[in-house]
Amino acid sequence: MIKTAVAGANALTRRWVASIDPDGSVAVSGAGVWPLLAYLAPAAGGDGRDELTSAVGLSADEAAAGAAALVELLQSTPGLRAAIGAWVHPELKLRPQWSDSLPPGAVGVLGEQAVLDAWVREQTDGLLDRMPLTIDPETLLVLASALVARTRWIEPFADGMLRPEAGPWSGRRLAGLHRTTADRDLLAVYETPAGPVTVLTVEGADGIDVDLVIGLPDAPAAAVLAAGVDAPSAVPSRRGSQFAEADTAPGVTVGTGYDHDDTPRLLASLPRFTVTSSHDLLAHADVFGLRTVSDLSSQRLPGVSDFPLGVGAAAQDLTASFTADGFEAAVVTAFDMRAGGAPSGRPLQVRLLLDRPFGFVARHRSSGLVLVAGWVAQGEAWLGRAGLSA
């Protein structure tokens, strides 16, 4: 079941990133949305049920079990934390079959906004401070998920400065991260319909990896990010150790090392970054199978309650940071339910320089579950060594 659930969540992330057209930095988490959709799918009726099961990738009979399996994976994995919460209006009676499908202790009484915001702060260790939805007198049920991912790099980066010489970041002084490693095969190039895409895997100590992805300068961000999501199931055209002198790829140059250094190496430089995003999921309702259940003209969720319900709002807030020491991300998603070849001589040095917009994909290593995927349109500014130590 967990393999099917992971495949469904990753497919949702893949569809979501393919639909983005970022004007700036952006990040999404299909893993944060998918369990909520899976809990709703068996409770929906008619076309809404069909749309939700299609979005989830599981039958209605399997969806709730898939959600439970995914949440259990997230809760039992070092470096990850997850929670499901549901708050119900005192006068709304839930069907026991649906409420019992939620994790034990997940259901509470809907009251003040401050209670929901406090839950967000508790579940994300303060990385996020409020529920992405604001309740009002018409809110009858709130269903939410929280996800936190933290890892420290097995091989950390060094802080420094990065000053791009060309492209949209040309002339800027950015807070740079630099690392040299002997494992050149952490870098791979994939051929895609949008051209070659370079992927660098940064390994975390808690079974969480972050793939940094960059395409050609004119490649759409959505296509580059989609390639990053797909990378584990694709075959690379080249790995870092297969580069020859003067070979190139997006972000990559190849040359020879210093005379005294006889070890081939992979050098990587990128800006430190923090990406924060807020998403109205109903703006892309078809991606999430929410088109019909968000129509409040009739009963859309008969499996939740005898009282007619529909999804009045759906939103996600997210923050993700990549630093010299590691990666940290927090996601809260909520639904508001309402009525209605090498040359001779010196060794080759393969260098990846991310000095223009690029993407990132954080995933659970053993299951392949994509936790967060995003696009970095701007790196952090260099504040000098005083700023780094602050």
213 with 330, same domain? no
Q: What is the pLDDT of residue 341?
A: 42
Q: What is the pLDDT of residue 383?
A: 75
* Within-domain flag for 390: no
Distance (Å, rounded) from C-alpha 3 to C-alpha 336?
A: 29
Q: Nearest Cα to 191, choosing from 271, 250, 255?
A: 250
Tokens of 5: 């659930």
3-state secondary structure string across 262-286: CCCEEEEEEECEEEEEEEEHHHHHH
Q: What is the pLDDT of residue 261?
A: 56
- Residue whose tokens read 């529920």: 131
Q: What is the pLDDT of residue 388?
A: 46
The CATH number assigned to the domain holding 299 equals 3.30.497.10
Q: What is the sign, positive or negative, of the torsion defined by CA atoms of 22, 54, 142, 285?
A: positive
160 with 256, same domain? yes
* DSSP state for residue 139 in the 8-state scheme: -
Q: What is the pLDDT of residue 117?
A: 96
121 with 21, same domain? yes
* Within-domain flag for 374: yes
* DSSP state for residue 324 in the 8-state scheme: S
117 with 157, same domain? no
Torsion of CA 333, 70, 300, 115, to 10 degrees: -40
212 with 347, same domain? yes
Q: What are phi and psi of 199, to 5 degrees?
A: -125, 125
Would you say how long the chain is, in residues?
390
Tokens of 133: 């939805």
Q: What is the pLDDT of residue 347?
A: 65
Which regions of the chain are under pLDDT 50? 259-260, 341-344, 386, 388-390
How many structural domains compose the chain? 2
* DSSP state for residue 187 in the 8-state scheme: E
CA R_g for the chain: 22
246 with 306, same domain? no
* DSSP E strand boundaries for 204-295: 208-214, 238-239, 248-249, 252-256, 265-271, 273-280
230 with 203, same domain? yes
Distance (Å, rounded) from C-alpha 27 to C-alpha 243?
A: 31
350 with 230, same domain? yes
* Within-domain flag for 8: yes
Q: How buried is 61 (Cβ within 10 angstroms: 0-12 exposed, 13-18 middle, 19+ buried)?
A: exposed
124 with 23, same domain? yes
Give Cα separations from 275 to 27, 94, 121 (angstroms).
7, 37, 18
253 with 309, same domain? no
Q: What is the pLDDT of residue 344?
A: 44
Domain hosting 204: range is 152-272+343-385
Q: What are phi and psi of 157, to 5 degrees?
A: -95, 165
Distance (Å, rounded) from C-alpha 91 to C-alpha 352?
A: 58
* Within-domain flag for 191: yes
The CATH number assigned to the domain holding 191 equals 2.30.39.10
pTM listed for this prediction: 0.90
63 with 119, same domain? yes
224 with 359, same domain? yes
Q: What is the sign, positive or negative, of the torsion defined by CA atoms of 119, 125, 126, 132?
A: negative
Q: Are 15 and 284 in contact (CB under 8 A)?
A: no
Q: What is the pLDDT of residue 351?
A: 84
Q: What is the pLDDT of residue 342?
A: 39
* Within-domain flag for 378: yes
* Within-domain flag for 71: yes
Q: How far is CA 206 from the centre of its chain?
A: 17
